[in-house]
Structure 1
Amino acid sequence: MGIEFTALHWIYVVFIVLIIGFMVKRRDTTLICIVGIFMLAIGATGDFTSSISGVFNSFIYAITELLSTILIISIIVAMSRVMMTSGINEVMVAPFTKIIKTPALAYWTIGLLMMLISWFFWPSPAVALLGAVLLPVAIRAGLPALGVAMAMNLFGHGIALSSDFVIQGAPKLTADAAGIPVGDVVSASIPLVITMGVVTTIVAYIFLRRDMKRGTFLLNTVSEENEDSTQAMEENLLSIGQKRFFAVLIPIAFILDVMAMAVFKLQGGDATALIGGTSVFILLLLSIVAHKSEGLEKTTSYLIQGFQFGFKVFGPVIPIAAFFYLGDVGFIQIIGDHLPATSHGIVNDLGVGLAAVVPLTKEIAVVTLTVVGAITGLDGSGFSGISLAGSVGSLFGNAIGGGTATLTALGQITAIWIGGGTLIPWALIPAAAICNVSPFELARRNLIPVVIGLVVTTIVAMFLI
């Protein structure tokens, strides 16, 4: 095939296997990734000092690549904090409380709202924005607290986070690892996201209704603590008229952003920048109007809270992303041009070699990506392993001669549905806490619907390649 395999290729394979193994054992992979970067660097250069520097440089490269994503999430979280403090979030969702009259309306209204808000605000802030306000309303309508948690979880941390159409943090991670444009991953993910979302949420609702008819749930599961938490805001910061004004202005601003993306064909970094810039101005405006003379200091305080959240989420991701960037163009930029002249990047070389040795079919590739995505989600982050999904998607795409974007999108969706907050108990805590239910019980309720959804989505992916 004209591909020259070197020790670097085998080092990369060994550490991918080790990373998957540690994820299966639910152990942290940061140490393995750092050692892997060092071994690749010393294998390429033979220089101990420059290899140590290579570890640091790989972190710089990863942070540089991920910075726009970290920034947008941090800014949006900062904006959501001032919205909660000033009570704008309550006014924003108040019209929907009039709609929620039955358990079915509660489940689907809360779920669809959660999905919509999560696309723009990220799921964790969206849980806080919606949960405290709509939980008592849903329970009065007859939907158990566990049902509310399931709706927020499946639509927010499932559909919205795995697709990430607006902020595009997840597609950027997987696209970079696969060496393809972000737009390709987003486009390829649309039919898979729809399949996964529709199947999982409908199956979950059917099981929920069945158990409600059996009398399995108690409705009075909202605690006094939770009701008190809705009063945690500073109620005198804004007048009712001001809250209503901003509750209308903020959605309009983001709708205009989406329209601008469509008209001017903004994608990836350009789309992220537009959302981010809009969020900054909303944050500034709300801080100044709500806190008046203290507005300048409060703006900084909200930004600090946002950045703390952003780097807390991406802290575990950076070493892993740094390792997987070495599988593609990042190798030359971080370590230097030490690959064979015939090489097209370590991952591409491995894909070509795999095709020559293994009778790889699209069915095997699709099932493998689902398994890899599932394994990478076991750490409970969802994000920390999707670089691996992108890398393996590129490897298999090259091996079967196409379908890289679909394979990458499938790995991304699987990893985030499992690890981003629908199955791993320690990733379910935000939704479980706001609804005062056990995260383990929530994970148990989600398990069968999510597994059914993944099986159907995997089958659909086979026909899309």
Structure 2
Amino acid sequence: MELTAAHWVYMAGVASLIVVMLLRKNVIVPAVIATFVTAWLYTGNFLNGLGSVFSASMVATTELLNIFLVLTVVTALLGALRAIGADRRMVLPLARLMKNGPVSYVVLFVGTYLLSLVFWPTPTLALLAAILLPAAIAAGLSPLGAAMAIAIAGQGMALASDYVIGVGPSLSASGAGVPADQIADRALLLSWVVGGVAITLTYLLYVRTGSLGRVLAEGRGRAGHREAVASTALPASPAPLAGIPALVGDALTTKGEPLRTAGRPDAPAEQVGVLTGDDHGAEPGAGNGNGTGGGAAPADGGGAAANAAPRTRFFAIAVPAAFAALVVYLVLGKTTDLVPEVESGYGAALVGGLALLLMLGVTLSSGADGLERAGQHFVDGLLFAFKAMGVVIPVAGFVLVGISDFAGRIMLLPEDATAPGFLFDVISSGERFIPDNSVVVMFAMLIAGMLIGLDGSGWAGLPFTGGLADALAASSGADTATLAAIAQNAAGWTGGGTLLIWSSLIAVAGVTGVPVTTLARKLFLPVVAGLVLSVVVAAVIW
């Protein structure tokens, strides 16, 4: 196949995106420039190139709009729960299970994973830092052991699959051209493999041997515990951190009454607030403009104080139960004949619809101003979604230029014109150099996923790895969804993150007081070993 100048410019754009990610810079500029030059050269019309810059983002926004809406309503739900203190009550039962260090390690891992599937890992840190983390430390688990459990479960397993919210699989599917559900199912299993290996090796190498205390002591010798918490700079990530208790260091180093007070369900709201420094006003989607407080205190004025506790307890039980029921239904529909299977692509709509109805239930139960609260939470969620995911739009638009299904619309070609597929053309022209061994291609996708994860999130490159998976599947005989899932899984674990000190791993280090370099170094062997094994499992199963 003869490659034109536009093909080479497109591939140069792909290379520039990878380089910029490696340098941890913003990828919008090379994506926009590459889109403009590629369209200009292919059509031979400057105006077409100019218009393609806008139409690429427009097409990408249309394809990804469902992702933004799902993230909007989930964030709005979390903000509504925070306003009435139900977010904390959801984790109190888990805190009571923490009897000793090993048990706390398991409970913290499981609790972080389940919460992060629904609310994303970084916002979940606020709940962990308020209740679960102090309870785990008091039970005998070292701060580094707690940090590793949190990072593996949240920043690793939950974000790599993103099975409930479905943002990651949808981004991968936008380039791969396969249903997002197929990628999500494979990414979920792969994330379990990596997580199982990582959490087991971490326990055997560090938690069980007791060497964590020595490592932590060395870290504290270089920087004070409280200074590490107070001065930590939080990076941009798919789920920006907010609402982390400012004084959680006191809880981590205290064995006395304040720590026990913070973990009790009957603790007065003012005591919990003093301990954690939490005002529930910092998180996008949580603020409502009315200065609502945190803890168990009611958010709708003193007249509703008598009804606050029952309402809080009800939604603290109803929200996780509703999401758990939905996940069980989806799984049963796919694996059994007990319930009808949900059609492909409907999962995100079901999650979004459930979150929206639950958010309305929470806000309308708050009193006369429930209508205004619902609108404000939705707007806050929408702002958060576009702040978190806005950078993906121009990058996705550039990637879609290389796929024939979208290139015609983006470059403003006539409807009867044959649209090019730059990415697939390049892969086809070099097909003789590509090993026809599917296992080799799977490991190549693993490396590609880890590379795009070096930007500190990895999500901006998922449309690219999805398109690459589709192009390589034909020559290698591998399954497109599997290749896309491998890359997504690798990008999530790398940039989500468990391996990079400039990812949201720094937030985990901040709330636990562990040096982020120590945390990343100790996670490297367990996570990489899990990633390698996950490719082997994928090769055997699919």
Q: Could you tell me how far apart the structure 1 residues matched to 2:46 and 2:508 are?
A: 47
Determine whether 1:168 maps to 2:166.
yes
What amino acid maps onto 2:324 in structure 1?
Answer: I
**Structure 1 residues 344 and 187, CA gap change in structure 2 (3 angstroms):** farther
- Corresponding residue of 2:514: 437
For residues 297 and 130 of structure 2, the distance between their equivalents in structure 1, rounded to whole angstroms, comes to 19
The residue aligned with 2:374 is 299
Question: Aligned-pair distance for 1:375?
Answer: 0.9
Which one is further off, 353-362 or 392-401? Answer: 353-362
Q: Partner of 2:526 in structure 1?
A: 449
- Who is 1:192 aligned against? 190
Offset, 1:269: 3.7
Measured against aligned partners, the alpha-carbon deviations of 1:61-116 in whole angstroms (never above 9, x if no partner) come to 11111111111112212211221232112222221122111111111111112211
SS in 2 for 1:235: coil
- Identify the range of structure 1 (183-192 vs 29-38) with the bigger mean alpha-carbon deviation: 183-192
By how many angstroms is 1:334 displaced? 1.3
In the alignment, does 2:323 pair up with 1:254?
yes
Q: TM-score, normalised by structure 2?
A: 0.79
- The residue number in structure 2 matching 1:183 is 181
Say if 1:445 and 1:214 are closer, same or farther in 2 by CA, change over 3 A: closer
Answering whether residue 393 of structure 2 is matched by residue 315 of structure 1, we say: no
Aligned equivalent of 1:415, options 482, 488, 491 = 491
Please state how far the C-alpha of 1:378 moved relative to its aligned partner.
Answer: 0.6
State the alpha-carbon separation in 2 of the partners of residues 348 and 186 from structure 1. 24
1:33 aligned partner:
31
Secondary structure, counterpart of 2:3 in structure 1? coil
Please give the secondary structure, in 1, of the residue aligned with 2:496.
helix
- Aligned 8 A contact 1:45 1:338 in 2: no
Instruction: Tell me how far 1:11 sits from its aligned partner.
Output: 2.1
**Other-structure match for 2:444:** 368
| 70-79 or 233-242: bigger deviation | 233-242
Match of 1:115 in 2: 113
**Paired-residue identity, %:** 32
* Equivalent residue, structure 2, for 1:224: 250
Q: Distance in 2 between matches of 1:423 and 1:333?
A: 39
Give the superposition deviation at 1:340. Answer: 12
2:369 is paired with a residue of what secondary structure?
helix
Q: Quick check: 2:144–2:212 contact (8 Å CA) kept in 1?
A: no
Instruction: From the superposition, tell whether residues 138 and 22 of structure 1 become closer, same or farther in structure 2 (CA, over 3 Å).
Output: same
Structure 2: unaligned runs, 5 residues or longer:
227-247, 253-271, 280-293, 299-306, 334-338
Contact 1:193 1:413 (8 Å CA) reproduced: yes
TM-score, with length taken from structure 1: 0.91
Q: Which amino acid aligns with 2:276?
A: S
Match of residue 14, structure 1, among 12, 19, 25: 12
Distance 1:252 1:347 in 2: 44
Q: 1:198, CA displacement in angstroms?
A: 0.9
Matched, 1:288 2:372: no
Tell me: CA distance 1:254–1:418, structure 2 relative to 1, closer, same or farther (3 Å): same
State which of 34, 46, 70 in structure 2 corresponds to 1:48: 46
**2:424 aligned with 1:348, yes or no?**
yes
Q: Distance in 2 between matches of 1:334 and 1:225?
A: 54
CA–CA distance in structure 2, aligned partners of residues 190 and 83 of structure 1: 27
- Is the 1:62–1:325 Cα contact (8 Å) retained in structure 2? yes
Q: Distance in 2 between matches of 1:33 and 1:152?
A: 34
Match of 1:129 in 2: 127
Q: Which is further off, 373-382 or 384-393?
A: 384-393
- Counterpart amino acid of 2:297? N
Tell me the residue number matched to 2:351. Answer: 275
User: Structure 2 vs 1, CA of residues 312 and 93 (structure 1 numbering), >3 Å: closer, same or farther?
Assistant: same
1:295-333 Cα shifts (integer Å, max 9, x gaps):
333323322332232112112211111111122211122
1:71–1:380: structure 2 CA closer, same or farther, 3 Å change rule?
same
Change (3 A) 1:192 1:340: farther
Give me the whole-angstrom Cα distance separating, in 2, the residues matched to 1:73 and 1:330. 24
CA distance in 1, matches of 2:312, 2:475: 56
CA distance in 2, matches of 1:174, 1:89: 31
Superposition RMSD in Å: 2.6
SS in 1 for 2:90: helix
- Provide the C-alpha distance between the structure 2 equivalents of 1:59 and 1:225, rounded to a whole number of angstroms: 46
Partners of 2:348 and 2:186 lie apart in 1 by: 19
Structure 1 residues 258, 451: CA separation in 2 closer, same or farther (over 3 Å shift)? closer
Report deviation, 1:133: 1.4
Q: Is the 8 A contact 1:115 1:156 kept in 2?
A: yes
Asked if the contact 2:147/2:519 (under 8 Å) is kept, the reply is: yes
On the 8 A contact 1:37/1:54 being kept in 2, the answer is yes
Match of 2:259 in 1: none
Corresponding residue of 1:461:
538
- 146 and 305 in structure 1: CA distance in 2 versus 1, 3 angstrom threshold: farther
The amino acid across from 1:187 in the alignment is: D
Tell me, yes or no, if the aligned pair for 1:380 and 1:426 is still in contact at 8 Å: yes
C-alpha displacement of 1:25: 2.7
Normalized per residue, which structure has more helix? 1
CA distance in 2, matches of 1:31, 1:267: 38
- One-letter code of the match for 2:409? Q
Q: Report the residue type matching 1:57 in the other structure.
A: S
C-alpha separation between the residues in 2 aligned to 1:27 and 1:36?
16
How far the C-alpha of 1:338 sits from its partner, in A, is: 7.9
Q: CA deviation at 1:400?
A: 1.3
On the 8 A contact 1:168/1:272 being kept in 2, the answer is yes
Distance 1:187 1:293, change over 3 A: closer
Task: Identify the residue that residue 381 of structure 1 maps to in structure 2.
Answer: 457
One-letter identity of the residue aligned with 1:236: A
